[in-house]
Amino acid sequence: MEQTNFQLKQQKTQSNDWSARLHHATRATREDWLGKSISYLCIGVIILVVASMLWFITSKGIATFTQNHVSLGKFLTGTNWAPDQGKIGALPMIVGSFAVTFAAAIVATPFAVGTAIFMTEISPNKGRKLLQPVIELLVGIPSVVYGFIGLAVVVPFMRSIVGGSGFGIISATFVLFVMVLPTITSMTVDSLRAVPRHFKEASLALGATRWQTVSRVILRSATPGILTAVIFGMARAFGEALAVQMVIGNAAIMPKNLISPASTLTSQLTTGIGDTIDGTLPNNALWSLALILLLMSLFFNALVRVIAKRGQLKHER
C-alpha cells in the first residue's frame, strides 16, 4: 500500500511537472520566438528603407512633370539639355547610358565566357588557384581607381589611336569592360559548374569531343545562367557613375560616333547635383534622371527573373 501510495504521489508530481512544462513556453520556444521576431524586424526595416526610397525618388522624379509641367514625351525625346534655361531633353543621356552599357556587355561577354570555360572545363586547377583570386581582386577595386586609370591611361591611348580628345563612349566602354568582366565571369563560372555531371558524361560517352561537349552541351545547358550573368554585368555598367564620368567627357549632346564626348544619366547626375537648388526645375530634372535609372534597374531585375524561370522549365522537360 505504502509503495503504491508513493508511486501515485510520484506520478502526480510528475504529471504536475509535465503540465507545467507543457503549459509554459520552454527555453527553445522562447528562443524560437525571439529569432522569429528579430528576423521580422529586420525584414520590416529593409522593406521600409526600400519602400521609402522608391517613394522618395518617384515623388521627386515626377515633380518635373507635375510641378514644372514638362511633357513626358519632350523629356524622353528632346535632345537639348540645358536645365538652367528650362530645356530638359534627356535623350542624349539615355542614349549614352544604353550605348556604353551594351557596348561594354558585347565586348566583355566573349572574354568572360572564354575565361569561365577555361576555369571550369579546361584547367580547373589553375582556374581555382590563379584566376579566381585575380577576378575577386578585380571586383574589389573601387570604381574611382578604374576611373583614374581610365583618365591617365585609356584616354591618352584612345587619343593617340583614333584622334579627337580621347574622351567618349569608346573610352567609357573600355573602362566598363574591365569593370563588368569579373561580374560576368564569376557568375558564368557558377552556372557552368551547376551543369549536371551526367550531361557531360553522356556526351563524352556518345563519342563527342571535348570541344563538342563544351559548345553543344555545357554552354547550351548553362545559357540561362550566362544570360543572367550578362544582365547583371549590364546592370552594373548602367549604374556606374564615377569611372564613366571621368572618361566620357560629359557633353550633353547626342552621340554621333564613339569617339566624341558624350554623357550618361549617372554622369549628368554626379556633375549637376551640387549646383542645383531643391525644388527648382534643374534639380527636379536630375531627380527624373534618377527615376529613369531606378526603373531601368527594376527592369534588369525583372529580366533576370524571367530568364531564370524559362531556364528552369527547360531542365524539367
Partner 1 sequence: MNKGSKLAMGIAAISLLLVGCGKATSSTSSKSSSSEALSGKVTAVGSTALQPLAAKAGANFQAKNSKVNLTVQGGGSGTGLSQVQAGAVSIGNSDIFAEEKAGIKADKLTDHKVAVVGMAPVVNKDAGIKNLKMAQVKQIFTGKITNWKEVGGKDQKIVIINRAQGSGTRATFENAVLKGATAVKSQEQDSNGAVQKIVATTPGAISYLAFSYFTNKLQAVSIDNVTPTDNNVENNKWKIWSYEHMYTKGTPDKATAAFLKYMDSKAVQNSLVKDMGYISIHDMKVTKDAKGTVTQN
Q: Do residues 139 and 130 lie in contact, with contact meaning Cβ atoms separated by under 8 Å?
A: no
Does 165 participate in binding partner 1 (rule CB under 8 A)?
yes
The size of the interface with partner 1 (CB under 8 A), counted in residues, is 40
Residue ranges in the chain assigned as alpha helix (H) = 2-23, 27-61, 63-66, 72-77, 91-117, 124-126, 132-140, 143-149, 155-162, 169-193, 197-205, 210-212, 219-239, 242-248, 265-272, 281-316
Does 156 participate in binding partner 1 (rule CB under 8 A)?
yes
Does 96 participate in binding partner 1 (rule CB under 8 A)?
no
Cα Dmax for the chain: 111
Does 56 participate in binding partner 1 (rule CB under 8 A)?
no
CA angle 294-296-299, nearest 5°?
115
Minimal distance, residue 82 CB to partner 1, in Å: 7
d(CA 269, CA 56): 16
219-241 core/surface letters (b: 16 or more CB in 10 A; e: else):
bebbebbbbbbbbbbbbbbbbbb
Does 270 participate in binding partner 1 (rule CB under 8 A)?
yes
C-alpha cell at 200: 557531360
User: Which residue, 48 or 134, is less far from partner 1 as judged by CB?
Assistant: 48
State which of residues 150, 233, 249, 255 lies at the interface with partner 1 (CB under 8 A). Answer: 249
Helix, coil or strand: residue 160: helix
d(CA 238, CA 266): 8
Instruction: Find where cell 511537472 sits.
Output: 17
State which of residues 99, 251, 290, 296 lies at the interface with partner 1 (CB under 8 A). Answer: 251
Q: Which of residues 24-43 bind partner 1 (CB under 8 A)?
A: 31, 34-35, 38, 41-42
Does 66 participate in binding partner 1 (rule CB under 8 A)?
no
Indicate left, alpha or beta for 262 from its phi (over 0: left) and psi (-120 to 50: alpha): beta
Minimal distance, residue 15 CB to partner 1, in Å: 32
Amino acid identity of residue 237, one-letter, is: A
Does 82 participate in binding partner 1 (rule CB under 8 A)?
yes
Minimal distance, residue 78 CB to partner 1, in Å: 13
d(CA 81, CA 92): 8
Site stretch for partner 1 (CB under 8 A), options 95-103, 111-119, 183-191, 263-271: 263-271
State which of residues 16, 280, 301, 312 lies at the interface with partner 1 (CB under 8 A). Answer: 280
Site stretch for partner 1 (CB under 8 A), options 10-18, 159-167, 202-210, 288-296: 159-167
State which of residues 61, 96, 150, 166 lies at the interface with partner 1 (CB under 8 A). Answer: 166
Minimal distance, residue 242 CB to partner 1, in Å: 11
State which of residues 16, 53, 279, 301 lies at the interface with partner 1 (CB under 8 A). Answer: 279
Does 139 participate in binding partner 1 (rule CB under 8 A)?
no
Does 85 participate in binding partner 1 (rule CB under 8 A)?
yes
Does 177 participate in binding partner 1 (rule CB under 8 A)?
no
What is the CB neighbour count within 10 angstroms for residue 24? 9
List residues binding partner 1 (CB under 8 A): 31, 34-35, 38, 41-42, 45, 82-85, 151, 156, 159, 165-167, 245-246, 249-253, 261, 263, 270-283
